[in-house]
């Protein structure tokens, strides 16, 4: 995929696309332009909100991807949880409540 780091203006300083691709590969995913759009959206949201909460992130993603099916679409794209897995791919801290230790990713 031919994408530059400049395409991610809100990326954490220690994040790069190779890291995201390695994380995705380890989790059985192949990054597509839609995955990159999710990563960009999460990084942008985290850049705007000082203390992101899972419910707010889910609402923001639902709105952003509404025309494609919202969270249902994102779960099809990232079965491990669009918030939990998406944050890992984006180099962001996974918000509290996104992972249930006894169950796995829930968001």
Host H or E run for residue 60 = helix 54-64
Q: Read off the pLDDT of residues 12-60 as tens digits, 9 standing for 90 and up.
A: 999 999 999 999 999 999 999 999 999 999 999 999 998 889 999 999 9
User: What does pTM read for this prediction?
Assistant: 0.87
Domain map (residue ranges) of the chain: 32-105
Q: At residue 62, does pLDDT exceed 80?
A: yes
Q: How far is CA 17 from CA 6, 21, 96, 103, 104, in A?
A: 11, 6, 25, 29, 25
Q: Please tell me the predicted confidence (pLDDT) of residue 95.
A: 86
3-class state of residue 99 by DSSP: strand
Average pLDDT over residues 73-95: 93
Distance of CA 3 to the CA centre of its chain: 17
Please tell me the predicted confidence (pLDDT) of residue 12.
Answer: 94
pLDDT of residue 98: 76
pLDDT higher than threshold 80 for residue 1: no
Q: pLDDT averaged over the chain? A: 89
């Amino acid at each position: 995929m031919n994408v530059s780091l400049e395409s991610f203006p809100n990326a954490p300083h220690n994040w790069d696309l190779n890291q995201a691709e390695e994380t995705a590969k380890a989790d059985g995913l192949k990054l597509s332009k839609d995955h990159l759009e999710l990563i960009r959206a999460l990084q942008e949201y985290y850049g705007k909100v000082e203390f992101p909460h899972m419910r707010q992130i889910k609402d923001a993603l639902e709105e952003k991807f509404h025309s494609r099916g919202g969270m249902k679409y994102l779960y099809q794209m990232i079965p491990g949880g669009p918030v939990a897995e998406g944050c890992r791919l984006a180099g962001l801290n996974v918000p509290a409540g996104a992972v249930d230790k006894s169950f796995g990713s829930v968001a």
